Structure 1
Amino acid sequence: MNTSDIILNKVAPIFNKQGYVGTSLTDITKATGLTKGAIYCNFSNKEDLALKAFQLNINLAITPLFKLVAAKQGSINKLHAITEYQRSYYDLVKDMGGCPMLRAGVDTKFINPLLFKSAQNLSQKFTIGLTNIISDGILNNEIQPNTDATKYAKIILSLIEGSSLLAFTHNDATYINDAMDFIDITIISSIRK
């Protein structure tokens, strides 16, 4: 493991817990035991470090979901894989400070345009992925043909992210579990052919 990786592994959870704005250079040097100069030998600035920390947090929290879904066959199975993954999401990311996509999207909009754009791109990737799953389901005769794939993708993502926000706000995973039940029982059942 090189110095950059060591720094990232130590500061990524701090950025996610304290916010990308709320994390100071002092927090970073204290966590790593390195000087400011040593940090900036490996990263061009705090924004660069924050962006790479965000990418690491995404690799730990969200990339496994994308891989899990890609391995499933059939749109309905893929949608259920998403809700099943989300049921364990709270425990997966609670020690990291919550959902990195949600955290970065809210925390950086007006102060770190590159990091905000990364969070926004991830959200769009998630929406496009859900839209494609639903559209494929329509083509493969698994999902009703009159289903508005984009609309349902946005609703599903909103329930996922909204329930994550509330779960971490109240330290209560039932917000996520109840939302995933709603997606399974109400949404998926209503669009399933």
Structure 2
Amino acid sequence: MSKGENTRNHIIAKSAELFNQKGYAGSSLSDITELTGIKKGGIYRYFASKDEIAIEAYQYAGSIVGKTIQAGLAREETAMGKLLVYLQVYANVNEAPPFIGGCPLLNAATESDDGHPVLREVAQGSLQRTLNAMKGIITQGVQSGEFKADIDIDALATFTLSVMEGGIMLSKLEGDNRHVRMNIESLRTYLSEVCLA
């Protein structure tokens, strides 16, 4: 990797941490230069705007979380276990989230609904990929006989993601992981009592 590529990647990684903690609107180009140690001219050598950095930074943060989830999924054999992984990676969201600052999707969705349409579009893509991955897990569970054949796959995926993001939001706001952890157990109970064949 060239020095230029290393510098560009450094800007993306540090900006991802910044945006995921302080938000896009709450972060200035001066914050990026201070965090990276690179002057504005150096930043603009690699990126045309803060918006461009935000998109790349969001995708970087999402890729880190995605790798953590994929590692958890690889350890599970059941569809129920795989769905629970999405919440379990955030069980210690305040002290040890998969990416500093919490869930990039939740943070981007909260901030970009009106103020940043391009970031919103990228976050919508992440939302669809996450829901599709969950639907794939549920479909496999139905095909293997683990889940009931008449289960509403789309609704269960939406419910799982909502329980995950709601638990993260409440735990981050309160500074206590109990909400994510309660939601893990509540989802486990729901899946066991309502969804399993």
TM-score of the superposition, structure 2-length normalised? Answer: 0.89
Q: Which residue of 2 aligns with 1:186?
A: 190
Question: Secondary structure, in 3 states, of the residue corresponding to 1:92?
Answer: coil
More deviation in 54-63 or 18-27? 54-63
Q: Is the 8 A contact 1:86 1:180 kept in 2?
A: no
Q: Which residue of 2 aligns with 1:129?
A: 133
Which runs of structure 2 are paired with 1:82-101 in the superposition (5 Å)?
Answer: 82-93=86-97, 96-101=100-105
Q: Which residue of 2 aligns with 1:102?
A: 106
Q: Which residue of 2 aligns with 1:61?
A: 65
Question: Secondary structure, in 3 states, of the residue corresponding to 1:91?
Answer: coil
Q: Give yes or no for the alignment of 1:3 onto 2:7.
A: yes
Unpaired segments of 5 or more residues in structure 1? none
Q: Give yes or no for the alignment of 1:143 onto 2:147.
A: yes
- Deviation track 1:68-87 (CA, whole Å, cap 9, x = no partner) reads 32564342332243343332
Q: Give yes or no for the alignment of 1:26 onto 2:30.
A: yes
Q: Percent identity?
A: 27
**Closer, same or farther in 2 for the Cα pair 1:167/1:87, shift >3 Å?**
same
Q: Is the 8 A contact 1:83 1:183 kept in 2?
A: no
**Closer, same or farther in 2 for the Cα pair 1:178/1:132, shift >3 Å?**
same
Which runs of structure 2 are paired with 1:30-41 in the superposition (5 Å)?
Answer: 30-41=34-45
Aligned partners of 1:16 and 1:120: how far apart in 2?
17
Shift of 1:6: 1.5
Q: Is the 8 A contact 1:94 1:168 kept in 2?
A: no
More deviation in 109-118 or 146-155? 109-118
Aligned partners of 1:44 and 1:56: how far apart in 2?
18
Q: Is the 8 A contact 2:64 2:98 kept in 1?
A: no
Letter in 1 for 2:111: D
Shift of 1:94: 8.4
Shift of 1:118: 1.5
**Closer, same or farther in 2 for the Cα pair 1:25/1:81, shift >3 Å?**
closer
Unpaired segments of 5 or more residues in structure 2? none
Q: Give yes or no for the alignment of 1:12 onto 2:16.
A: yes
Letter in 1 for 2:117: P
**Closer, same or farther in 2 for the Cα pair 1:110/1:83, shift >3 Å?**
closer
Letter in 2 for 1:34: I
Q: Which residue of 2 aligns with 1:50?
A: 54
Alignment RMSD (CA, Å): 2.0
Aligned length: 193
Letter in 2 for 1:5: N
Aligned partners of 2:76 and 2:102: how far apart in 1?
26
